[in-house]
Structure 1
């Protein structure tokens, strides 16, 4: 299954390229619902799944990380 990392922003903040990220979440490609169940903005920044567990994808949702690990072979 293909994944991507999607940004969460502070409530009421619209995504923009210089908007600070509150938390990164793992999602299915093209989905706006994170693996932890949080709804994310369709225009939120995304990162490839290879950046998970790197400084670029910090801070990261621990629940999404746990779900993602369970799906990996």
Structure 2
């Protein structure tokens, strides 16, 4: 399964900057924590998780780690 980081903006919208990053399964608009994400929100590669200046959603991170392969045998 492929994933993508998607931005959640604060009350000022995109011009106010990213409030928090969520993880979304490819092709979906609902974050792994259940929050609906704006279809036009900025996106990043899942490998950027945890390396942004903005916070990453703790719940999305926990669910993502359960789905993401981390052993060499799981990458096949």
TMscore range, shorter length:
0.7 to 0.9
Consecutive unaligned residues of structure 1, counting only runs of 5 or more, are: none
Q: Which has the higher contact order (CA 8 A, sep 6+)?
A: 1
Q: TM-score, normalised by structure 2?
A: 0.80
Q: How many residues align?
A: 69
Q: TM-score, normalised by structure 1?
A: 0.83
User: C-alpha root-mean-square deviation of aligned residues, in Å?
Assistant: 1.6
Q: Which ranges of 4 or more aligned residues in structure 1 deviate by more than 6 Å?
A: none
Which structure has the bigger radius of gyration? 2
Higher strand share: 2
Higher helix share: 2
Consecutive unaligned residues of structure 2, counting only runs of 5 or more, are: 70-76
